[in-house]
Structure 1
């Protein structure tokens, strides 16, 4: 009897030690006091899509926005689905708007995506989209023909193992370098290599060659330099330096094209970065999506920021609301050669343009 008791106590102690070991590390979500909202005299707002009643019926959660070399605006939304939806979206998820006329010129993407998230257009105008349910990165031509798919399929145990790791941060899953766990965004270099922010269940940015071969990754959960807590958006500048919207850490991190940590921007006025884009002028454009998706901390700031290469904020504007110029969870951001800013608003289900005056 006593021997059995000792064995039971030993098992309990061992389980406790294992749970403590697997739970070590981690990173708490950072909350900031929301800065006072501002309106900008430099930009004129306009809703680009949806405009018609028919389009409003199919418009879903705004996910991504990008601009092609011709100036056309590509807008990604989830139609009748939602974040984490598992059924294929029956509406055209990709809306293409003519850069000159601002009229819809194409729609594609029916029955392809389950929960599309990140959107990128490379220098050859190929369209890259991440899907957080299918755990894939897709590469399409400008008119929607699939060229390549990246990301290994899940083995049968992977999904429950990742769910356990959400709680026990160091629980072993056996996930490979080629397997994504809800990839949030992608940025593509001129040589065809690409970097993925693999953020909702992983905690990494990972670079691949043009043919999909693994090159390097930064893969640590935490809030120290080079660590991540939900890398949500990613972009690069002309030198190849990478800018990562480290969402739960409420900061932008900057890395070299080889993954070397260079800098971080976490000032209060920056809020909570969801999306990031580097413009042709070298400025960094940030979509601050606030705290509306978080269980505490209030609504937070919902704004657009323009930041220079040194991390100095040179313009910021926006406030919570649904009127033209107002924002509800700006999820992604893009900018054209003229300096006009395009914002995909998650909760307002729309694409908004801020035209530079």
Structure 2
């Protein structure tokens, strides 16, 4: 093997760009500077270099979640305690970092109060939800809900995600714990609890992600991903089960609403359960999948979505997406060899 080929293949491998055995026509991203992925109206050019930093100065571990703040900055949560929060501009330039006390930092949600940005962070190792200012000042911490009688010890409470209503109320998904959904007011006072572990309509196996859906202004609801069940479940704001959407073969993370569409990072597919086989999924307001960047094109048979699987190993356990005002998508990845996020530019 020539030195040139060796260096090229090593570079591709370092970026996690490997060819999938599931896709005979797969190609190397390193051979094409303008790789386009996705389907139909939602297609994207891949930027593997966005947000790459000096790992000695600004390391990442698991890049769990990303949000965009009111200034247009991209805020990343990693569970590396040298810099739990990394803030970029949209070009991928580092602006600032903070946070050294979130070893289980997993969920990141932006909330706004009186024109000011705040963050809600869930930490499953601390068994807490933490509210901070955008620059890291702690406003309050919420411990496990002992008063509900649903938990015997704090170790049973391992929250993974939050979502916020317009009035400041927020919901917490205990996705790594006892699988309950908790409803708090803006002060952090518990108002309601529902869900729990199980396979019933209103129960969950890995209630991993949660999202407030106000696209129908007259009937706002809560969307919750039951990841191990390959199902997205919809609940009323008072915790009553409404409906489910099956997403065969996809271990979906947090649902993210942008305009009329729902975006997901799919951690991996059941067709390749032991590989880093993730992809993205985009669903319209009729609950129809319209694009699967990195995966098979969405196909329906008698109104049933065919099982999805990865076609090109671009992503390594994608865990969250953030969509900016230009329709670009930023992808955070879990357990991906300490890699920084990937940017997909809408075309």
Q: TM-score, normalised by structure 1?
A: 0.72
Change (3 A) 1:52 1:173: closer
- The answer to whether structure 1 residue 310 and structure 2 residue 312 are counterparts is no
How far the C-alpha of 1:153 sits from its partner, in A, is: 8.8
Q: Which runs of 5+ in 2 are unaligned?
A: 1-21, 27-35, 296-308
Partner residue of 1:49? 51
Question: How do 1:43-192 residues align onto structure 2 when only pairs under 5 Å count?
Answer: 43-47=44-48, 48-52=50-54, 54-55=56-57, 58-79=59-80, 89=81, 91-99=82-90, 101-110=91-100, 112-123=101-112, 124-152=116-144, 173-174=151-152, 181-192=157-168
Pick closer, same or farther for the CA change 1:248–1:151 going to 2, 3 Å.
same
Contact 1:50 1:59 (C-alpha < 8 Å) held by counterparts: no
Match of 2:251 among 272, 286, 289: 272
Counterpart Cα distance in 2 of 1:237 and 1:39: 27
C-alpha distance in structure 2 between counterparts of 1:70 and 1:246, whole Å = 33
- Measured in 2, the distance between the counterparts of 1:59 and 1:173 equals 32
Partner of 1:3: none
Residue 275 of structure 2 corresponds to which residue in structure 1? Answer: 299
Alignment equivalent of 1:39, drawn from 37, 40, 51: 37
User: Which of these residues, 237, 241, 244, is aligned with residue 257 of structure 1?
Assistant: 237
Which structure: greater strand fraction? 2
Secondary structure of 2:228's counterpart equals: helix
The 5 A counterparts of 1:8-47 are 39-40=37-38, 42-47=43-48
The structure with more helix, counted as a fraction of residues: 1
Shift in Å at residue 300 of structure 1? 7.5
Counterpart CA distance in 1 for 2:62 and 2:269 is 17
Distance 2:111 2:156 in 1: 21
- Shift in Å, 1:313: 0.3
Cα shift readout 1:256-309 (whole Å, capped 9, x = no counterpart)? 22222222111326x110222111x121101110159x9x94438411111122
Equivalent residue, structure 2, for 1:17:
none
Q: Which of 332, 335, 343 does residue 320 from structure 2 map onto?
A: 332
Tell me if structure 2 keeps the 8 A contact 1:291–1:298.
Answer: no
**Alignment partner of 1:287 out of 224, 246, 265:** 265
Report how far residue 73 of structure 1 moved: 0.6
Given the alignment of the two structures, is residue 355 of structure 1 paired with residue 345 of structure 2, yes or no? yes
Greater shift, 207-216 or 235-244, is seen at 235-244
Alignment check: 8 A CA contact 1:63 1:345 kept = yes
> Please, which runs of 5 or more residues in structure 1 have no aligned partner?
1-34, 80-88, 156-170
Deviations 1:192-251 (A, max 9, x none): 110000111211111111112222122332223211011111111224421112111111
What number of residue pairs does the alignment pair up?
288
Alpha-carbon distance in 2 for matches of 1:63, 1:300: 15
Greater Cα shift, 140-149 or 39-48: 39-48
Aligned counterpart, 1:224: 200
What is aligned with 1:213?
189
In the alignment, the residues of structure 2 paired with residue 355 and residue 262 of structure 1 have an alpha-carbon distance, to the nearest angstrom, of: 35
Q: Distance in 1 between matches of 2:72 and 2:327?
A: 11
Summarize the Cα distance change of 1:50–1:59 in structure 2 as closer, same or farther, 3 Å threshold: farther
1:189 positional shift:
1.3
